[in-house]
A = this chain, B = another copy of it.
């Protein structure tokens, strides 16, 4: 515990981040809502569309989405009902279930992607410019490294 409090500048930066991150997420969510999609569902579509054979094991997908196993089970329930995803069992390991993107799901994703990309561009990339975007990646990359590092020493 080096110093008890944050400096004025530190405080200001940190609050900027906290406040903005919340509103930014809300803005992206709102833009996606015209497709009747949540960010959560959209991310599932994206991950599956980028995966080999358009499918992923539940556990891998949950980790990619930073979601608990039960959370993913229920999110998929909705997406299966919507027809965007199918469950498929695995012959090699009968414990695992694949989440498989349907053609309907792919179409949904392709319809929504431009909206979302545009949203990210408008809200984040354009205001920052190339340099700012690079800094953003650099900053959170560094935080990420430290998080993983601290996590390792804890175990």
**Which chain A residues have a beta carbon within 8 Å of chain B's beta carbons?**
1-6, 9-10, 12-14, 16-17, 19-24, 27, 66, 113-114, 117-118, 120-128, 130, 132-147, 150
- Is A144 a contact of B13 with CB atoms below 8 Å? no
- Chain B residue contacts of A16, Cβ below 8 A: 136-137, 140-141, 144
- Is A121 a contact of B2 with CB atoms below 8 Å? yes
Interface of A is mostly: helix
CB of A5, distance to nearest CB on chain B (Å): 6
Copies of the polypeptide in the assembly: 2
Which 6 residue pairs across A and B have the least CB separation, nearest first? A13-B137, A20-B140, A127-B146, A16-B140, A20-B144, A17-B140
Q: Which of B4, B118, B122, B143 contacts A150 (CB 8 A)?
A: B122
* Contacts known (A4-B114, A16-B141, A117-B4); A27 close to B133, Cβ less than 8 A: no
Which B residue sits closest to A144, measured CB to CB? B20
Please indicate which of the listed interface residues A5, A16, A128, A139 has the most CB atoms of chain B within 10 Å of its own CB: A139
Q: Which of B10, B21, B126, B133 contacts A13 (CB 8 A)?
A: B133
List 14 interface pairs A-B (beta carbons < 8 Å), by A numbering: A9-B133, A9-B134, A13-B137, A13-B138, A14-B133, A14-B137, A17-B140, A19-B66, A19-B144, A20-B144, A21-B140, A24-B147, A127-B143, A128-B143
